[in-house]
């Protein structure tokens, strides 16, 4: 049995879902993978808590009811170094949200954790968009894992496929529906809805954020295709290298004609080689029935890899919600130890 100490940073929707999931899956992970997952600490911007068995129980009880405030009102922000238990494996699970341009506040936190010899599993795109290569190099130097399924596809295991399942193949191009929110909007528009109406509907349902610009402007898709490209092609590109189109200004005539032709309008993140150079873009494209992502509707996601030796491989589905993201984080943790 391997003891693994977890430090959870961030307690928004994904952080809470992750906490619940670990509580639910603890026994399964002990039996199936001989991994003993233990909570060390919960860090939040305003406060934090070092877990004791009583505190864990209290938190577990609290998050099964709508009011989390009581459970989080404990103690002072703990110091990372105090939490680190040298005798055990330590994993920082990062569910906070950082800025894509500066990478902060996550970049410094992840860099410190890697320097201290922790593994890091993260759903936070910002630090990775800002400095994936430097973080990965630091992880490598320390023989630690830095895993980011939660940030690039979540329950759609795009990165596992790209880095493991097609290892030794050369990736010729990648094309993905990587953002569930915009795919939902486009699907509803194909069914006859107006952009403003379906956006309001999606916000009502919690599918779109109150400020939806990161999704509908194509930036979330851009960040994901960038992360995938940097991870699998060894590039060190940044957001400025991605040509980005959003879904905000689609003429009604385009929708009508593509419905008539049985085509579908999709926001695609694309990576392809132009000679030795990697080109990244986010584009609105019309795809027909023969396209492997044609059936990917609603909040679903999908990605296609074209390779030299394995042909074309497509991955679709995977829950697009906090529980799916939490499951991706837990999967990454198990895979640090799984042979």
Residue ranges in contact with its own copies by CB under 8 A = 21, 25, 28-29, 32-33, 145, 155-157, 160-161, 163-170, 289-290, 292, 294-295, 304, 307, 309-319, 323-324, 326-328, 330-331, 333-335, 338-339
Minimum distance of its own copies from residue 339's CB (angstroms): 7
Minimum distance of its own copies from residue 239's CB (angstroms): 26
Q: How far apart are CA 300 and CA 317, in angstroms?
A: 5
Rg of the chain, C-alpha, whole Å:
21
Q: How many CB atoms lie within 10 A of CB 80?
A: 19
Minimum distance of its own copies from residue 213's CB (angstroms): 27
Q: How far is CA 210 from CA 126, 200, 202, in A?
A: 19, 9, 10
Q: Which residue number, 31 or 76, has a Cβ lying nearer to its own copies?
A: 31
CA dihedral 24, 28, 33, 37 (to 10 degrees): 30
Q: Which residue number, 113 or 328, has a Cβ lying nearer to its own copies?
A: 328
Angle between the N-to-C axes of helices 13-33 and 322-337, in degrees from 0 to 180, rounded to the nearest 10: 40
Given the structure tokens 């055990």, which residue do they identify?
88
- H/E stretch holding 304 reads strand 302-307
Would residue 159 be called left, alpha or beta, if left means φ above 0 and alpha means ψ between -120 and 50 degrees? alpha
Minimum distance of its own copies from residue 75's CB (angstroms): 30
Minimum distance of its own copies from residue 82's CB (angstroms): 29
- H/E stretch holding 32 reads helix 13-33
- H/E stretch holding 215 reads helix 213-216
Minimum distance of its own copies from residue 211's CB (angstroms): 26
Residue 320's φ and ψ, nearest 5 degrees, are -95, 65
8-state DSSP, 118: -
Q: Which residue number, 25 or 55, has a Cβ lying nearer to its own copies?
A: 25
Exposed/middle/buried for residue 81 (C-beta within 10 Å: 0-12, 13-18, 19+): exposed
Minimum distance of its own copies from residue 168's CB (angstroms): 5
SS3 44: coil
Q: How far is CA 175 from CA 149, 171, 268, in A?
A: 17, 11, 6
Minimum distance of its own copies from residue 332's CB (angstroms): 9
Q: How far apart are CA 258 and CA 239, in angstroms?
A: 30
């Amino acid at each position: 049995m391997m003891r693994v100490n977890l430090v959870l940073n961030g307690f928004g929707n994904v952080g809470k879902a992750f906490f619940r999931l670990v509580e639910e899956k603890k026994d399964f992970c002990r039996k199936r993978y001989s991994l003993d997952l233990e909570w060390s600490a919960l860090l939040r911007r305003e406060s934090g808590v070092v877990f004791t068995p009583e505190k864990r129980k209290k938190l577990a009880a609290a998050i099964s009811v709508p009011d989390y405030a009581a459970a989080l009102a404990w103690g002072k922000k703990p110091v990372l170094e105090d939490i680190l238990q040298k005798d055990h494996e330590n994993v920082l699970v990062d569910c906070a949200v950082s800025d894509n341009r500066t990478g902060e506040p996550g970049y410094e936190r992840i860099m410190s954790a890697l320097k201290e010899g922790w593994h890091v599993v993260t759903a936070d795109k910002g630090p990775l968009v800002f400095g994936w290569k430097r973080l990965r190099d630091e992880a490598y130097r320390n023989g630690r894992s830095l895993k980011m399924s939660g940030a690039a596809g979540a329950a759609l295991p795009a990165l596992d496929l790209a880095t493991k399942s097609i290892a030794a193949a050369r990736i010729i191009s990648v094309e993905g529906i990587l953002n569930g929110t915009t795919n939902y909007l486009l699907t509803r528009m194909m069914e006859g809805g107006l952009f403003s109406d379906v956006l309001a509907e999606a916000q009502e349902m919690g599918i779109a954020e109150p400020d939806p610009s990161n999704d509908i402007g194509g930036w979330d898709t851009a960040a994901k295709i960038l992360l995938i490209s940097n991870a699998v092609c060894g590039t060190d590109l940044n957001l400025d290298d991605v040509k980005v189109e959003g879904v905000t200004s689609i003429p009604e005539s385009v929708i009508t004609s593509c419905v008539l032709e049985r085509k579908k309008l999709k926001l695609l993140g694309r990576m392809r080689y132009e000679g030795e150079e990697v080109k990244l873009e986010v584009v609105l494209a019309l795809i027909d029935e023969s396209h492997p992502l044609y059936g990917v509707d609603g909040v679903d996601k999908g990605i296609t890899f074209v390779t030299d030796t394995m042909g074309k491989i497509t991955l679709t589905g995977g829950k697009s919600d906090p529980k799916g993201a939490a499951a991706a984080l837990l999967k990454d943790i198990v895979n640090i130890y799984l042979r």
